[in-house]
Homo-oligomer: A and B are copies of this chain.
Amino acid sequence: MNFQIEQAVEILSQTPAVLNSLLGNLSGDWTKSDENSDGWSPFDVVGHFIHGEETDWIPRAEIILAQGENPTFEPFDRFAQFEKSKGKTLGELLETFADLRRKNLERLRQMKLTPDQLKLKGIHPELGEVNLEQLLATWVVHDLTHIRQIVTVLAHKYSENVGVWKEYLSILK
């Protein structure tokens, strides 16, 4: 599929509504961490989305567009949410994320990116040379990755309750 900003925004703009639909009405048994799991809970994932809005996607786009002497991104802290989300409710996190995402998409629109600008490059601290189009496509796929993670974690809560049907349900494997 060819990259078009408008189509990327179709996904990016819906993610807050997807998370609200998925998580907004769930009781704590669904959304809290399993005591015996070292995986992320839905609560942790929403915190991770927030940290991405604050430090990853648009800040990195701005580094690329500036084309300064050192276009290397700050490393992204994949675990920042464990500290930052403390004391918050899931509802608060969902609201914060929706607000940040709306503002970041407004900043993206104001950039009025041209096809030439999409090919401008920055340096990822681990992966090396990347361009703006790849960054924006990754923003989209990153959203989908973590929605997938949330539904997988939810499904696993019922991994024993489904009995012999487990055999048919690849999400539980």
Contact = CB atoms under 8 A, between A and B. Distances in A.
Interface string A115-151: 0000000001001111101100110111011011001
21 contacts: A3-B161, A10-B25, A10-B27, A11-B30, A14-B22, A20-B21, A21-B21, A133-B161, A137-B158, A137-B162, A137-B165, A140-B158, A141-B158, A144-B151, A145-B155, A145-B170, A147-B147, A148-B148, A148-B152, A148-B155, A151-B151
Interface of A: 1, 3, 7, 10-11, 13-14, 17-18, 20-22, 24-27, 29-30, 124, 127-131, 133-134, 137-138, 140-142, 144-145, 147-148, 151-152, 154-155, 157-159, 161-165, 167-172
Interface residues of A, dominant DSSP: helix
Contacts of A27: 7, 10
Contacts of A18: 18, 21-22
Nearest to A135: B165
A142 B161 CA distance: 13
B151 A147 contact: yes
Given A124-B164, A161-B134, A7 B22 contact: no
Contacts of A171: 141, 144-145, 148
Given A18-B18, A134-B164, A137-B165, 18 more contacts: A1-B157, A1-B158, A1-B161, A3-B158, A10-B27, A13-B25, A14-B24, A133-B161, A134-B165, A137-B162, A141-B155, A141-B159, A141-B162, A141-B169, A145-B155, A148-B148, A148-B151, A151-B151
Contacts of A29: 1, 7
